[in-house]
Amino acid sequence: MFTALDRLLVAADNALRTVSGAAHASRPAPGEKSADPSDDESRRHVAGLMRVDHAGEVCAQALYAGQSLMARDERVRSALEHAGAEERDHLAWCAERLRELDSHPSLLSPFWYAGSFALGVASGLAGDRWSMGFLVETERQVEKHLDGHLDRLPAGDARSRAILEQMREDEIGHADTGRALGAVDLPPPVKGAMRLMAKVMTETAYRF
């Protein structure tokens, strides 16, 4: 059993690994390496989409780390840790795809992590059911976001498509787990604020 100090050290280690790019996947990246877009504009576009997805996974790592740190119920903590491990795969896959595209993650990753970790701690302090509510709403918005990116990918980019489709499947599973653990339906103003924050992150990370 971990003590509170142990969990704090684990959270600090996770933060450093996430922001520094040292996180490793436990599963290989989906899809075979395929021919990348030949023209510079398409390549930059795909890199921008994957940079946004990578930034989203930085946020997910931070959010779930903060929630896990504050969780009361061991079932909730276990679910958050499991979701965090799968999100770590997503983070590493997006980073790998960015390297394949000769691009880089968002330069603002430390900022995304810090803000999302604070939100995770705050939602965890509100109680496990509220924490699960944040998880469910986060994953619902991420699912919609991934649908949009899948629509915007070039038709021939099978590699990026396979990665995003597996991410989408995992996110749906996380939301289902949150509902099973008694997630509270968040008030509309909170959902709206989350959408606004996500929009700011998305538009900024696409370019930087």
Check residue 22 and give its pLDDT.
Answer: 80
- What does the pLDDT look like over 102-116, one tens digit per residue? 999 999 999 999 999
The predicted pLDDT at position 35 comes to 64
Residue 169 · residue 92 · CB < 8 Å: no
Q: What integer pLDDT is reported at residue 23 of this predicted model?
A: 81
Q: How many domains does the chain have?
A: 1
Structural domain includes residue 112: yes
Give how far the C-alpha of residue 92 lies from the chain's centroid of Cα atoms, to the nearest Å.
11
- Specify the range with the lowest mean pLDDT, choosing from 13-17, 28-32, 72-76: 13-17
Q: Are 103 and 208 in contact (CB under 8 A)?
A: no
Q: Alpha-carbon distance 65 to 62, whole Å?
A: 5
| pLDDT for the residue numbered 140 | 95
Mean pLDDT of 182-198: 94
Is residue 26 included in any domain, yes or no? Answer: no
Look at residue 148 and tell me if it is in a domain.
yes
User: By the 8 A CB rule, do 146 and 50 touch?
Assistant: no
Reported for 137-143, long-range contacts at CB under 8 A and 24+ positions apart, including other chains, are 137/186, 137/190, 137/191, 137/194, 138/60, 138/63, 138/194, 139/171, 139/172, 139/174, 139/175, 139/178, 140/175, 141/194, 141/195, 141/198, 142/56, 142/60, 142/171, 143/168, 143/171, 143/172, 143/175
Q: Is the pLDDT of residue 154 over 80?
A: yes
Instruction: Write the CATH number for 60.
Output: 1.20.1260.10
What's the mean pLDDT when you consider all of the chain? 91
For 67-95, write each residue's pLDDT tens digit: 999 999 999 999 999 999 999 999 999 99
151 has a pLDDT exceeding 90: yes
- Total residue count of the chain as it appears in this document: 208
Classified as helix, coil or strand, 138 is helix
Q: Span 127-155, mean pLDDT? A: 94
> What is the structure's pLDDT at 21?
81
Nearest partner of 164 among 85, 97, 80, judged by Cα: 97
Q: What is the pLDDT of residue 38?
A: 67
Give the predicted TM-score (pTM) of the model. 0.91
Whether residue 10 is contained in a domain is answered as yes
Per-residue confidence (pLDDT) for residue 7, from 0 to 100: 76
Is residue 29 assigned to a domain? no
Query: Per-residue pLDDT for 20 more than 90?
Result: no
Does 65 reside within a domain? yes
Q: Which residues, 6 or more positions from 136, have their beta carbon under 8 angstroms from its beta carbon?
A: 175, 178, 179, 183
- Say if 24 falls within a structural domain: no
Question: Is 203 inside a domain boundary?
Answer: yes
Structural Rg of the chain based on CA atoms:
16
Mean pLDDT throughout 186-192?
94
- Give pLDDT tens digits for 129-138: 999 999 999 9
* Nearest to 64, CA basis, from 25, 21, 121, 115: 121
pLDDT attached to residue 13 = 79
Q: Is the dihedral of CA 45, 103, 49, 37 positive or negative?
A: positive
Structural domain that includes position 114? 4-19+35-207
Average pLDDT value for residue range 47-66: 95
